[in-house]
């Protein structure tokens, strides 16, 4: 693996060779030189990348409001600023307040009322709640599940929505959940998108899972509720559906759209767009064989625009809304390219405003012209940084799996790739397990960064990933160690046929289900790999079932409890712990202390096993991180340790 100096020399040599070829071989295509002399992406450079997120389009449709967050490694925090830029491009200007620029969705359409949310103490949990004379007690007492979630212990508080007149003190606002032990916004990631005004200004629509304790931990059944501010009565609008119902929005014509999954307990089920019109619910994407990620109404209310995974990318789609006619809705793909459209901010005229990323570039704001199909980039906040960084090369590769299917595999090559050389190669194992593997840009699992250190990265769209049909996505549930593991092996076995792959220097890396994949492969890889890295991976499916917090996930994906005979395979054949006897390869195990989804014990069990077996192993413990790594300095430690391990073992 070349360091920066040797990389620059390689670039110079390549350019000299290229220039010579252009002079002497006029009858052959000239070798395309690398873009000037550029540096390889490094962890330190990655943590100088500014992060762009869209906020909204201005009320008059002339401006795009967006946020730029900048990491400060020295102070171990982020700072952020708001900017506006013309919808036609130009020089951005800093915004101090958005109050008069963008529509405040929390103000009722008639301007009389305002919505807000805050945490409300409902349940007694702490020792001092039960024993008032022991106010210094740190005890916590529970009588049901749902006692902790993601990275936070349940302290007896619930997120509630309040409303009041715009001139009233918020202390006098009315709680629409009236001390019920349910959340809106949903924990841990819900925001004010979980509640909206009806256009009549008399009703509030909100999302909530109205289940308690153990029942709540085993279900995904969120519903849309309508609260009337005059009668203070609540009506469940989606009672007949037992899965996720989320993201309610109204069209300009007053039609209510939302996203809906039908299967209770299956958090990665097909996500459809439904519309409630004149008391009738229509599923607009029922006949379409993919899953919706996000959507907006068209300005005229005749159609909806949405994003979805397709063939290893995230693209823009539209579906028309037939209204009261019996005509079937038609879904059309609008865009195609080697990038991801990961958010739609809104529409102004014939322009959709979106954020777009690729493996080489972080998110920026773009417009897409619906008639001319023209893309225009509005922001380029990392232009100077990327101007000095060489791009990696990305290739689509299609591999035949062991059951005869065609599987997309992304292959990412180092900058300055030379097919006459041999390169160490990493198999990247995606998490989820039902997460799309697209042209994503990660600040941890950054495939461009890995390739820039001199590795070829192989990223298979194995079974379980959206973007290849619903059946492909659903297949992985209850089959964790089955066909999808064979998909990984098919991908790496295919790439090692290439002369530029050093098949004696293969590694496998991944997090979450990707970490499970690494632990599992470590016992079945049959000497293919020379090193492994597993972050927050499931090592023991039985103890995972006994300690994770969202029971619906393990109930659906593993089949249910380990003591039920029907689920035996998930806890025996597909349990990495039962294959540890065959472990014989160096492994680095990384674990977040505040990860309640894949709890600390998973990493500890795996590290203990490796150490007792005498396998070269290392343990990185991040006590204040959850299932992710958020803090800048912890993230840099992670990156440096990741590549240091690969240098030592690969």
Predicted model pTM: 0.93
pLDDT of residue 327: 85
pLDDT tens-digit map of 374-383: 999 999 999 9
Q: Tokens standing for 62?
A: 């002339």
Q: Would you place residue 13 in the very low, low, confident or very high pLDDT band (cuts 50, 70, 90)? A: very low
Catalytic residue among 117, 595, 617, 635: 595
457-466 per-residue burial string, b: 16 or more CB within 10 A, e: under 16: bbbbbbbbbb
Span 42-54, mean pLDDT?
97
Contacts with 298 (C-beta within 8 Å, 6 or more apart), sequence order? 251, 304, 305, 318, 347
3-state secondary structure of 410: strand
pLDDT at 326: 76
List for the chain the helix, strand, coil content (%; round to 5): 20, 30, 45
Spatial separation of the C-alpha atoms in residues 183 and 157, rounded to whole Å: 9
CA distance 593 to 586: 23
Of residues 126, 149, 578, 627, which has the active-site annotation?
627
pLDDT, one tens digit per residue, over 547-564 is 999 999 999 999 999 999
Q: Which of 484, 495, 473, 525 shows the shortest CA–CA distance to 402?
A: 484
Architecture of domain 392-649: 3-Layer(aba) Sandwich (3.40)
Residues 465, 437: contact at Cβ < 8 Å? Answer: yes
Q: What is the pLDDT of residues 60-108, one digit of tens each?
A: 999 999 999 999 999 999 999 999 999 999 999 999 999 999 999 999 9
Q: What mean pLDDT is predicted for residues 478-500?
A: 98
Q: Which of 84, 291, 512, 635 is catalytic?
A: 512
Predicted confidence band of residue 36 (pLDDT cuts 50, 70, 90): low
pLDDT in tens, 268-325: 999 999 999 988 999 999 999 999 999 999 999 999 999 999 999 999 999 999 987 7
Is 595 among the residues known to form the active site? yes
Cα(475)–Cα(469) distance, integer angstroms = 10
Residues 391-408: tens digit of each pLDDT: 999 999 999 999 999 999
Whether the predicted pLDDT of 22 surpasses 90: no
Asked if residue 9 has pLDDT above 80, the reply is: no
180-204 mean pLDDT: 97
3-state secondary structure of 397: strand
pLDDT in tens, 149-161: 999 999 999 999 9
Task: Indicate if 18 belongs to the active site.
Answer: no
Contact criterion met (CB below 8 Å) for 548 and 627 = no
Task: Give the per-residue pLDDT at 28.
Answer: 29
Using an 8 Å Cβ cutoff, are 222 and 193 in contact?
Answer: no
Identify the pLDDT of residue 456.
98
Share of the chain above pLDDT 90, in %: 93
Provide DSSP, 328-390.
PP-EEE---SSSEEEEEEEEETTEEEEEEEETTEEEEEEEEETTT--EEE---TTHHHHTTBP
SS3 89: coil
Both tokens assigned to 568: 């035996």
Number of H helices, E strands in the chain: 14, 33
Tell me how far apart the alpha carbons of residues 366 and 337 are, in angstroms, rounded to a whole number.
14
DSSP-derived secondary structure letter, 506: E
337-367: pLDDT as tens digits: 999 999 999 999 999 999 999 999 999 999 9
What does the alpha-carbon distance between residue 335 and residue 536 come to, in Å, rounded to a whole number? 35
> What's the CA gap between 24 and 187, in Å, rounded?
65
């Amino acid at each position: 693996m070349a360091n920066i100096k040797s990389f620059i020399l390689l670039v110079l040599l390549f350019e000299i060779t290229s220039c010579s070829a252009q002079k002497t071989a006029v009858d052959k295509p000239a070798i395309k030189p690398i873009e000037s002399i550029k540096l390889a992406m490094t962890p330190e450079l990655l943590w100088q990348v500014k992060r762009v997120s869209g906020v909204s389009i201005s009320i008059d449709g002339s401006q795009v409001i967006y946020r730029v967050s900048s990491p400060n490694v020295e102070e171990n925090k982020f700072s952020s600023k708001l900017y506006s830029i013309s919808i036609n491009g130009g020089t951005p200007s800093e915004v101090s307040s958005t109050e008069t620029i963008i529509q405040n969705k929390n103000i009722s359409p008639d301007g009389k009322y305002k919505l807000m949310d805050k945490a409300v103490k409902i349940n007694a949990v702490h020792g001092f709640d039960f024993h008032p004379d022991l106010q210094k007690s740190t005890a916590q007492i529970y009588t049901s599940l749902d006692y902790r979630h993601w990275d936070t212990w349940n302290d007896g508080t619930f997120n509630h929505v309040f409303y009041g007149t715009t001139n009233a003190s918020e202390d006098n606002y009315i709680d629409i959940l009236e001390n019920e032990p349910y959340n809106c916004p949903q924990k841990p990631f819900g925001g004010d998108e979980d509640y909206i005004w009806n256009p009549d200004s008399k009703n509030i629509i909100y999302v909530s899972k109205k289940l308690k304790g153990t029942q709540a931990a085993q279900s995904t059944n969120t519903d849309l509720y309508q609260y009337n501010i005059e009668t203070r009565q609540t009506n469940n609008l989606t009672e007949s559906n037992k899965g996720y119902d989320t993201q309610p929005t109204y069209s300009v014509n007053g039609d209510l759209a939302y996203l809906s999954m039908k299967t209770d307990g299956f958090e990665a089920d097909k996500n459809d767009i439904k519309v409630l019109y004149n008391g009738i619910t229509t599923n607009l994407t029922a006949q379409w064989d993919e899953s919706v990620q996000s959507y907006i109404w068209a300005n005229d209310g005749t159609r909806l625009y949405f994003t979805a995974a397709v063939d290893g990318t995230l693209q823009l789609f539209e579906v028309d809304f037939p209204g009261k006619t019996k005509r079937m809705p038609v879904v059309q793909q609008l865009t195609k390219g080697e990038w991801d459209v990961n958010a739609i901010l809104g529409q102004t005229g014939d322009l959709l405003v979106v954020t777009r990323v690729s493996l080489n570039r972080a998110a920026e704001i773009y417009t897409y012209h619906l008639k001319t199909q023209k893309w225009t980039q509005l922001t380029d906040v990392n232009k100077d940084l990327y101007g000095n960084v060489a791009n990696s090369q990305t290739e689509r590769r299609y591999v035949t799996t062991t059951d005869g299917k065609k599987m997309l595999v992304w292959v990412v090559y180092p900058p300055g790739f030379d097919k006459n050389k041999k390169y160490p190669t990493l198999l990247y194992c995606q998490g989820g397990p039902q997460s799309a593997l697209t042209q994503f840009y990660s600040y941890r699992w950054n495939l461009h960064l890995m390739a820039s250190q001199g590795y070829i990265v192989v990223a298979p769209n194995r079974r379980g990933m959206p973007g290849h049909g619903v059946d492909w996505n659903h297949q992985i549930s209850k089959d964790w160690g089955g066909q999808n593991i064979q998909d990984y092996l098919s991908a790496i076995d295919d790439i090692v046929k290439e002369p530029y792959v050093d098949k004696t220097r293969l590694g496998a890396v991944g997090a979450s289900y990707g970490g499970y994949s690494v632990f599992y492969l470590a016992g079945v890889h049959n000497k293919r790999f020379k090193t492994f890295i597993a972050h927050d991976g499931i090592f023991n499916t039985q103890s995972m079932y006994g300690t994770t917090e969202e029971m619906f996930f393990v109930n659906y994906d593993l089949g249910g409890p380990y003591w039920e005979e029907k689920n035996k395979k998930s806890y025996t054949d597909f349990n990495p712990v039962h294959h540890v006897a065959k472990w014989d390869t160096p492994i680095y195990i990384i674990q977040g202390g505040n990860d309640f989804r894949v709890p600390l014990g998973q990493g500890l069990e795996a590290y203990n096993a490796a150490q007792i077996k005498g396998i070269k192993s290392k343990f990185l413990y991040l006590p204040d991180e959850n299932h992710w790594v958020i803090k800048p300095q912890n993230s840099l430690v992670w990156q440096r340790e990741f590549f240091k391990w690969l240098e030592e073992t690969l």
